[in-house]
Amino acid sequence: MAAFGFVVIDKPAGLTSHACVSRLRRCYGLKRVGHGGTLDPAVTGVLPIALGPATRLLPYLPQEKTYKSVIQLGTRTSSDDLEGELLEQVPWPELDTEQLEKILNGFRGAIQQRPPQVSAVHVDGERAHARARRGEAMDLPPRPVTIHRLKLLNWDSESGRFTLEVHCSAGTYIRSIARDIGELLGCGGCLASLQRTQALGFQIEQAHPLPDQDQTPPVPLSPLLALADMPRHDLNLNEQVDWRCGRSIHIRTGNEGATVVCNPDGSIAGIGHMNQGNQLRPKVVFDAIG
């Protein structure tokens, strides 16, 4: 039976997310493999990878992400991290943790954030990073993002570095947080290192090292682990036949939006959407008939 489910990779530094997908495609002997949330080559941590038909579930997984980041004050670069060209290096101000916490308060909750010049944002049909590497300077408009949690883990006044845990909405740039904190302090700032510790409902504790081609790959995780917070409907045997044929299921009570649908044995059968009249309409069907 072909592999189905999710594998969580602890992406090493120096590899693209696409390279990790290509490696697992060969390891499992699958053509259909996809990842959830691109990580820059220098970034490490949680990279959920969907195997086989599980790729159809990627849009339904929780999109918020969590990062552990180290920010360097007194350094400004072209990419807002240490990978970019050094633009300026100046002393950072004397700060205690209380003063730093006051600065961080302005970055908690719903904020407007300007993406980095080196980013995947589209500008006139082209990625911003491609234009930035040609030496173009762009006026990227700020976008709304939400910082659900911003926790100061450590402040080292001698090195000018502090560590943050950031739980945020999709589309948030931690490099922008580093840059903007530095601007507020008047000394500049950039991202020194970044690890993603949670993505799409999967945690760093579930992650495996990227396997070599000749290694036995990890056993995939059930998609239900990441969909646990969604409404769920368990099919009986009669409903299972209708579901697999693509017919709507009448249920007594339902929830608006997407619902996880499970087979009588507890395995995932797909995703349904509620219609009027408590009709659960198939949207994603696994093991379909006909």
Name the token pair of 63.
């999109």
Place of tokens 């219609």: 275
State the number of CA atoms in the 13 A half-sphere of 232 facing the CB: 16
Q: Which residues, in sequence order, are bridge partners of residue 66?
A: 167, 198
Q: Which residue in 207, 212, 220 sits closest to 27, CA to CA?
A: 212
Asked if 182 contacts 67 with a C-beta cutoff of 8 angstroms, the reply is no
Residue 153 identity (one-letter amino acid): L
The Cα diameter of the chain in Å comes to: 71
How many other β-carbons are positioned within 10 Å of the β-carbon of residue 82? 15
Name the token pair of 132.
């930035």
Q: Which residues, in sequence order, are bridge partners of residue 7?
A: 49
d(CA 254, CA 280): 8
Does residue 40 have an active-site annotation?
yes
Q: How many residues does the chain have?
A: 290
Catalytic residue among 40, 80, 81, 180: 40
Decide: helix, strand or coil at residue 20.
helix
Name the token pair of 94.
């004397």
> Which residue numbers are catalytic?
40
